[in-house]
């Protein structure tokens, strides 16, 4: 490859420079996680695990909302269903032939979770064939609340536990891991969450490189055009919704097993949960492979910081200069986080990854390799120019038709 004469550098996809960049990126993140698992104490590992669990769910949401353009505020329901399926199987609430007294080993519930959530997700995807933007979003919100009502429903109390939910779940590290029982519990969940985030990311990127991936992006960019070009919208939307839901369900299952309980009123199982996922997606960068990871990290750690400001106002550099020692301010943590979100949206409008890519694109651009590449560039979500990095996937307006 010829040396570029001026900025931006152009790096061919698949060239050694491109691979070097990737290795540095993946290696850096890998080292960070490795270091966290070795050196961080349990509280740091716990918080990191919480962020990774959110990242898994956002990876699912990214498929349907980021790449396919279907705005879903329903993923908290898949999260809840995943959590409940695991909880019900682990505690023997449902009769199955596979385990003694129906008491499942937690790990074996995950495939069941994936299947259940795929089915429910595909069904939820059906309305998406007709509904767009905010209309779809609102229907999915009602779906979340409806699932909650059903989980509470008295007649189902033997299966779901009703309003009090199901308590006393435990998932201790199996002996083959070499981990030390309860003492390494947070490390165990950190490994689990890392593993499933990698799996979810591989599923996601594999999907995007396939024909389905190109159909998804085409659907997002212009449904009518995609249909004209032969994309089967019904299949794309329901299947991707299903896969997306299955990934969110896995995250919910890990969440419940780590928390040791499920309850219908857990905030993450309701609208707040959906909002958490959507905010993490947009903050990280919709339709960006690294968006879910970065967005979830941002959400969990910035929220943790914002609550810290509220816990100890005079001890924070943010507002400590303005308040007296010992002052308690109700709700300060929430106000701080809210303002941080506004500022983030204002100054990093394309999300962290999207904005970074745009910045990087001024210096280094990845371009398709001229001869053999099959144009996977777009499906990969790699913007080939500054303009396409800003692909807007959350256009909530129904009047987005290009004036012809």
Site for other proteins, residues 139 to 168, rule: CB under 8 A: 139, 141-143, 145-146, 148-150, 152-153, 155, 162-165, 167-168
Give, as ranges, the residues between 359 and 398 that touch other proteins (CB under 8 A). Answer: 390, 392-398
Q: How far is CA 98 from CA 80, 92, 161, 175, in A?
A: 23, 11, 22, 22
Give, as ranges, the residues between 63 and 102 that touch other proteins (CB under 8 A). Answer: none
Between the CA atoms of 142, 148, 152 and 156, what dihedral angle is there, to the nearest 10 degrees? 90
Interface residue with other proteins, options 282, 296, 361, 379 (CB under 8 A): 282
Taking CB under 8 A as the rule, does residue 138 contact other proteins? yes
Taking CB under 8 A as the rule, does residue 106 contact other proteins? no
Distance from chain centroid for Cα 319 = 32
From 23-31, 56-64, 192-200, 323-331, span contacting other proteins (CB under 8 A)? 323-331
| SS3 state of residue 117 | helix
Taking CB under 8 A as the rule, does residue 22 contact other proteins? no
Interface residue with other proteins, options 186, 253, 288, 289 (CB under 8 A): 186
**Distance between CA atoms of residues 285 and 65, nearest Å:** 11
**Distance between CA atoms of residues 63 and 367, nearest Å:** 23
- Cα angle 162, 124, 104; round to 5: 45
Q: In angstroms, what is the C-alpha Rg of the chain?
A: 22
Taking CB under 8 A as the rule, does residue 302 contact other proteins? no
Taking CB under 8 A as the rule, does residue 189 contact other proteins? no
Interface residue with other proteins, options 6, 346, 363, 370 (CB under 8 A): 346
Nearer to other proteins, 11 or 242 (CB): 242
Nearer to other proteins, 120 or 367 (CB): 120
Taking CB under 8 A as the rule, does residue 28 contact other proteins? no
Listing DSSP states for 57-91 in one string gives: HHHHHIIIIIIS------HHHHHHHHHHHHHHHHT
Find the shortest distance in angstroms from Cβ 292 to other proteins.
15
Find the shortest distance in angstroms from Cβ 219 to other proteins.
13
**Distance between CA atoms of residues 346 and 357, nearest Å:** 17
**Count of residues of this chain found to bind other proteins when the rule CB under 8 A is applied:** 101
Taking CB under 8 A as the rule, does residue 31 contact other proteins? no
Nearer to other proteins, 15 or 222 (CB): 222
Nearer to other proteins, 134 or 235 (CB): 134
**Distance between CA atoms of residues 25 and 32, nearest Å:** 11
8 prior amide bond cis, ω within 30: yes
**Closest residue by Cα to residue 382 from 156, 149, 202, 217:** 217
Find the shortest distance in angstroms from Cβ 264 to other proteins.
8
Nearer to other proteins, 22 or 167 (CB): 167
Interface residue with other proteins, options 318, 335, 364, 377 (CB under 8 A): 335
**DSSP assignment letter at 181:** G
Give, as ranges, the residues between 43 and 62 that touch other proteins (CB under 8 A). Answer: 43, 46-47, 50
* Residue 384: partners with Cβ closer than 8 Å, 6 or more residues away: 365, 366, 367, 368, 377, 378
Find the shortest distance in angstroms from Cβ 332 to other proteins.
6
What are the helix and strand counts (H, E) for the chain?
Answer: 15, 2
């Amino acid at each position: 490859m010829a040396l570029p004469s001026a900025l931006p550098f152009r790096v061919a996809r698949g060239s050694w420079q491109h691979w070097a960049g990737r290795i540095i990126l993946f290696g850096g993140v890998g080292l960070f996680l490795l270091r966290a698992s070795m050196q961080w104490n349990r509280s740091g590992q716990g918080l990191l695990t919480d962020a990774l669990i959110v990242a898994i769910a956002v990876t699912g949401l990214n498929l349907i909302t980021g790449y396919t353009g279907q705005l879903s505020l329903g993923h908290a329901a898949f999260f809840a269903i995943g959590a409940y399926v695991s909880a019900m199987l682990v505690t023997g609430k449902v009769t199955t032939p596979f385990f003694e007294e129906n008491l499942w080993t937690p790990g074996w519930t995950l495939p069941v979770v994936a299947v259940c959530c795929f089915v429910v997700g595909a069904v939820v995807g059906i309305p998406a064939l007709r509904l767009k933007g905010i209309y779809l979003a609102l229907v999915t919100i009602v779906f979340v609340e409806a699932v909650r009502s059903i989980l509470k429903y008295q007649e189902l109390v033997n299966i779901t536990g009703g309003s009090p939910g199901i308590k006393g779940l435990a998932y201790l590290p199996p002996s083959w891991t070499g981990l030390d029982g309860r003492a390494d519990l947070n490390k165990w969940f950190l490994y689990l969450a890392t593993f499933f985030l990698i799996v979810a990311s591989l599923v996601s990127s594999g999907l995007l490189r396939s024909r389905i991936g190109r159909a998804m992006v085409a659907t997002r960019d212009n449904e009518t055009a995609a249909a004209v070009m032969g994309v089967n919208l019904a299949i794309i939307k329901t299947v991707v919704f299903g896969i997306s839901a299955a990934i969110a369900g896995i995250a919910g299952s890990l969440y419940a097993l780590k928390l040791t309980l499920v309850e219908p009123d857990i905030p993450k199982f309701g609208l707040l949960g959906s909002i958490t996922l959507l905010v993490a997606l947009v903050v990280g960068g919709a339709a960006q492979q690294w968006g879910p990871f970065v967005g979830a990290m941002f959400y969990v750690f910035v929220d943790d910081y914002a609550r810290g400001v509220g816990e100890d106002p005079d001890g924070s550099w943010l507002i400590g200069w303005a308040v007296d020692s010992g002052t308690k301010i109700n709700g300060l943590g929430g106000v701080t986080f809210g303002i941080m979100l506004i500022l983030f949206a204002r100054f990093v409008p394309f999300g962290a990854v999207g904005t970074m890519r745009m910045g990087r694109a001024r210096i280094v651009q990845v371009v398709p390799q001229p001869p053999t590449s099959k144009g996977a560039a777009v499906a990969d979500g790699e913007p080939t120019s500054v303009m396409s990095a800003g692909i807007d996937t959350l256009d909530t307006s129904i009047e987005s038709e290009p004036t012809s």
